[in-house]
Structure 1
């Protein structure tokens, strides 16, 4: 049973997250022949204050 965790910054719409789950499931099923009903996708949303790139928090941009 494949479990895929996707970490994203908060702020995406429900429609965007729905599409993400669908596309990730499709990618897993087509690449490793796992049945879709066995693929789990976990979305972890991070606050922009808790993520930084090149020494700068996303909330400070």
Structure 2
């Protein structure tokens, strides 16, 4: 029973999320021969102020880039 957790910042459409779920499931079926009916994919949207790299949050990086 595979469990895949995808974390992204907000902004993906419902259609894009559906494609991520389908694609992750398809990959596990193809590569590991997993049953799609028991493959779980969860998408977490992490606010940009809670996601950082290079020592600053994405929100801060976006503010600096815009102004």
Aligned to 2:41: 41
Aligned partners of 2:56 and 2:16: how far apart in 1? 26
3-state SS of the aligned residue for 1:60?
A: helix
Larger strand percent: 1
Q: What TM-score, normalized by structure 1, do the two folds share?
A: 0.93
Aligned partners of 1:13 and 1:52: how far apart in 2? 22
For the pair shown, the structure with the greater C-alpha radius of gyration is 2
What are structure 2's unaligned runs of at least 5 residues? 62-67
Aligned to 2:15: 15
What are structure 1's unaligned runs of at least 5 residues? none
Aligned partners of 1:34 and 1:54: how far apart in 2? 36
Larger helix percent: 2
Paired residue total: 61
Q: CA RMSD in A?
A: 0.7
